[in-house]
């Protein structure tokens, strides 16, 4: 989490730093800060704010902050409460440091630095880096060498940028476990946590690897490995469209991203646009061998991406006939499991930078599982570089913290995987393959029709805004959709929401049901509908108010205490993709009624690059 930007250029970099932070706010927004060097000899100016980047911008304007060399940071608090004293950059002597990640041995370092006289002014782990570099600078006068030496004492994850008051010509950056890239501009060089922050100045990016340390100056850049060996990293022309990260006519990114789903799905499915048959090559050059030889599947992910994996398990077992387990990455990486080398490990991640998912993948590989696939929305991400196979969802940048279009495009990718696995295992005849492809191609249009239900959903939202708790129910592959609906509601409206497989209701949660507890049911017209209806009666009999998302052809009737909204189509195996959309819209509108910060809900961040 946290976002960093750094710039050394032949112009005032303050506007570049601020614009970069604005693009990185999705990574955390507990505080923002910057430091710039100006003049000769250079004077260091530091500004910090517990508010958003807009407040930092106002501060910078008020004092006409300017300088050709600068670093900046937007924070997601891990060590120390959100406050000005804990906001980055942190200083030591004439040094300024910004950091994304966690220094795990910060307590031991803090004690040893205090023992030699350093006084700490924050509760952060980052401040030890500033003092450590300052200490080493006394014996190693070159900043690049000093930072490299200091890195040897750090344990944990970091992306760092360090600059020094008496040398405005350079900034030193380093990466270990947290994303960092360099930008090559016309008039200078830059660094940032992701490409969106630098599109304003360049499209030419250099992605650093873990263990890299680099020096950026106005004229160039220099990268070395941990042992000091120089290394050249490829220059990549970013394909990210600058428009894609603009809000346009929408009120919020979440709204924009919900409504972008038909296009996001069409783009993701473009590769099967005209196809009459499915090719394993969709997942990479070696896919036929890697997928075909898999004996079972293990899906690893976090948050919404984990929910996508849970839906996929129903598909993979029922359609492809392959055993599949789905684990929360942060649990898997720390438990003793029974590895099977012929397992296909599927990691799912919007960002491709989620620390737990990356670590779970490493753990699985360490246990001997080399058949690995990433389903990811960011082609340049760390995750994609670490798996044998990859499928890039083409949702476009997702800025809203609550994931929407990333989820539905992940589902589309996972359905493609299911069909490819089914085909490789001889469970998909040619006629069914053609039908399945046709059904997939219709998904964007089907989602478009669901979006047209917004006015009715908006009306329902009014009924939820004063509620404290909500239950979501689903069965089969729609149980994970209920989980996702509950996650969306709690994330952005702060209403406590729980999801249950409807059959579990009588084993506990029914005790919670009374007239104050609205119950939302995901009720597609599938084989489990009759059973679900019985579960809903159990709720109604206890006075619970039901909100049912049914299909066009379901016999669900509105009556007192039972509200029914019908989706335009009944969509078989793919209906999970449709049924999540009204739940996204409902959360969005409840949040609007409650007046919460939809795109930046409290305490959360989009890209969780710490454990």
Instruction: Please give the residue whose beta carbon sits closest to ligand G6P in the complex.
Output: 303
Residue with Cβ nearer ligand G6P (168 or 310): 310
Q: Output the CA angle 425-429-434, nearest 5 degrees.
A: 120
- Binding flag, residue 304, ligand G6P (CB under 6 A): yes
Largest CA distance in the chain: 80
The nearest distance, CB 262 to ligand G6P, in angstroms, is 20
Contact residue for ligand G6P among 294, 302, 413, 522 (CB under 6 A): 302
Instruction: Find residue 3's DSSP bridge partners.
Output: 74
Q: Does residue 308 bind ligand G6P (CB under 6 A)?
A: no
Q: For ligand G6P, which stretch binds (CB under 6 A), given 54-62, 281-289, 312-320, 603-611?
A: 603-611
| Beta strands 204-207 and 235-237, pairing class | antiparallel
Cβ-based nearer residue to ligand G6P, 100 or 357: 357
Taking alpha carbons only, the member of 6, 94, 97, 93 closest to residue 44 is: 94
Based on the shown chain and the rule CB under 6 A, indicate whether residue 345 belongs to the binding site for ligand G6P.
no
Stretch that binds ligand G6P, among 202-210, 343-351, 411-419, 583-591 (CB under 6 A): 343-351
Position 609 contacts ligand G6P (CB under 6 A): no
302 classed as catalytic: no
Asked whether the beta carbons of 102 and 610 are under 8 A apart, the reply is yes
Conformation bin of residue 28: beta by default, left when phi > 0, alpha when psi is -120 to 50: left
Based on the shown chain and the rule CB under 6 A, indicate whether residue 419 belongs to the binding site for ligand G6P. Answer: no
Interface residue with ligand G6P among 28, 262, 280, 303 (CB under 6 A) is 303
Report the side by side order of strands in the sheet with 324-328. 324-328, 296-301, 343-349, 371-376, 389-392
- Segment contacting ligand G6P (CB under 6 A): 159-167, 296-304, 362-370, 474-482? 296-304
Candidates 261, 354, 409, 554; binder of ligand G6P (CB under 6 A) is 354
Q: Minimum CB separation from ligand G6P for residue 603, in Å?
A: 11
Query: Least distance to ligand G6P from the beta carbon of 505, Å?
Result: 26
Task: Judge whether 348 and 305 are in contact, CB under 8 Å.
Answer: yes
| Alpha carbons 272 and 431: distance in angstroms, whole number | 16
Query: Quick check: 401 binds ligand G6P (CB under 6 A)?
Result: yes
Question: Contact 303/275 with Cβ under 8 angstroms?
Answer: no
Answer whether 237's CB lies under 8 Å from 423's CB. Answer: no
* Angle at alpha carbon of residue 445, lines to 441 and 449, rounded to 5°: 150
Nearer to ligand G6P by C-beta: 133 or 374? 374
Position 608 contacts ligand G6P (CB under 6 A): yes
Q: Which of 2, 302, 324, 376 is catalytic?
A: 2
Strand 496-501 to strand 469-474: parallel, antiparallel, or no bridges (unpaired)? parallel
Residues 153 and 138: their CA atoms lie apart, in Å, by 16
Rounded Cα gap, residues 374 and 299, in angstroms: 10
Which residue among 23, 136, 488, 606 is the active-site one? Answer: 606
The answer to whether the CB of 406 falls within 8 A of the CB of 438 is no
The residue ranges of DSSP E strands in 10-155, in sequence order, are 31-38, 43-49, 69-75, 90-92, 95-103
- The conformation of residue 316, written as its DSSP 8-state character, comes to I
State phi, psi for 192 to the nearest 5 degrees.
-165, 165
2 is catalytic: yes
Give me 28's structure tokens: 């955390």
Candidates 42, 178, 372, 403; binder of ligand G6P (CB under 6 A) is 403
For the bound state, the minimum distance from the C-beta of residue 588 to ligand G6P, rounded and expressed in Å, comes to 14
Nearest CA to 150 out of 217, 226, 73 is that of 226
Report the residue number, 149 or 604, with the smaller CB distance to ligand G6P. 604
CB of 467 to ligand G6P, least distance (A): 23
The span of 36-44, 117-125, 299-307, 492-500 binding ligand G6P (CB under 6 A) equals 299-307
Q: Return the range that interacts with ligand G6P (CB under 6 A); candidates 103-111, 350-358, 434-442, 540-548.
A: 350-358
Among 92, 267, 343, 349, binds ligand G6P (CB under 6 A): 349
DSSP one-letter code for 177: B
- Binding of residue 372 to ligand G6P (CB under 6 A): no
For ligand G6P, the closer CB: 1 or 168? 1
Residue numbers at the binding site for ligand G6P (CB under 6 A): 302-305, 349-351, 354, 357, 401, 403, 604, 606-608
The catalytic site residues sit at 2, 606
């Amino acid at each position: 989490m946290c976002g960093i930007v750094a710039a050394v250029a032949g112009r005032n970099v303050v506007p570049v730093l601020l614009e970069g932070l604005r693009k990185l706010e999705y990574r955390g927004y507990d505080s923002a800060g910057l430091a710039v060097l100006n003049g000769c000899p250079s004077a260091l100016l530091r500004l910090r704010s517990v508010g958003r980047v807009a407040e930092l911008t106002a501060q910078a304007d008020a004092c006409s902050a300017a300088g050709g060399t600068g670093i900046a940071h937007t924070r997601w608090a891990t060590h120390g409460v959100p406050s000005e004293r804990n906001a980055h950059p942190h200083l030591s002597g004439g040094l300024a440091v910004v950091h994304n990640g966690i220094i795990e041995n910060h307590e031991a370092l803090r004690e040893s630095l205090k023992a030699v006289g350093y006084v700490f002014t924050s509760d952060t782990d980052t401040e030890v880096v500033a003092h450590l570099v300052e200490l080493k600078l006394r014996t190693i006068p070159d900043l690049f060498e000093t930072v490299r030496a200091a890195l040897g004492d750090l344990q944990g994850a970091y992306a760092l940028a360090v600059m020094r008051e008496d040398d405005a010509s350079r900034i030193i950056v380093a990466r270990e476990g947290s994303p960092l890239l360099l930008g090559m501009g016309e008039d200078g060089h830059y660094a940032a946590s992701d490409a969106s922050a630098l599109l304003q100045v360049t499209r030419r990016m250099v992605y650093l690897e873990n263990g890299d340390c680099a020096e950026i100056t106005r004229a160039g850049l220099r990268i070395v490995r941990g042992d000091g060996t120089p290394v050249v990293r490829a220059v990549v022309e970013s394909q990210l469209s600058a428009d894609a990260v603009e809000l346009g006519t929408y009120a919020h990114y979440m709204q924009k991203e919900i409504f972008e789903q038909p296009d996001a799905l069409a783009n993701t499915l473009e590769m099967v646009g005209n196809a009459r048959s499915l090719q394993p090559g969709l997942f990479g050059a070696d896919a036929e061998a890697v997928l075909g030889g898999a004996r079972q599947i293990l899906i690893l992910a976090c948050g919404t991406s984990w929910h996508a994996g849970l839906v996929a398990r129903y598909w993979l077992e029922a359609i492809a006939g392959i055993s599949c387990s789905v684990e929360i990455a942060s649990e898997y990486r720390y438990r003793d499991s029974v590895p099977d080398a012929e397992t296909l490990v599927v990691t799912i991640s919007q960002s491709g930078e989620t620390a737990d998912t990356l670590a779970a993948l490493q753990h699985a590989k360490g246990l001997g599982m080399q058949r690995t696939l990433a389903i990811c929305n960011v082609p340049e991400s760390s995750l994609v570089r670490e798996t044998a196979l990859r499928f890039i969802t083409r949702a476009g940048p997702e800025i809203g913290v609550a994931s929407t279009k990333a989820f539905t495009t992940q589902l589309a990718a996972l359905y493609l995987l299911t069909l490819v696995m089914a085909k490789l295992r001889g469970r998909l005849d040619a006629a069914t393959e053609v039908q399945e492809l046709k059904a997939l191609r219709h998904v964007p249009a089907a989602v478009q029709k669901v979006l047209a239900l917004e006015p009715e959903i908006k009306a329902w939202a009014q009924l939820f805004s004063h509620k404290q708790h909500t239950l979501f129910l689903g069965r089969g592959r729609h149980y994970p959709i209920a989980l996702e609906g509950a996650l969306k509601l709690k994330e952005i409206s702060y209403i406590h929401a729980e999801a249950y497989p409807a059959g579990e209701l009588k084993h506990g949660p029914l005790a919670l049901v009374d007239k104050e507890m609205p119950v939302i049911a995901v009720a597609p017209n599938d084989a489990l509908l009759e059973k679900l209806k019985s579960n809903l009666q159990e709720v109604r009999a206890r006075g619970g108010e039901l909100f049912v998302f049914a299909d066009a052809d379901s016999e669900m009737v509105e009556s007192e205490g039972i509200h029914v909204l019908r989706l335009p189509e009944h969509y078989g195996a793919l209906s999970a993709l449709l049924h999540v959309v009204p739940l996204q819209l409902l959360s969005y509108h409840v949040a609007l009624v409650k007046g919460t910060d939809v795109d930046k809900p409290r305490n959360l961040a989009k890209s969780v690059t710490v454990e």
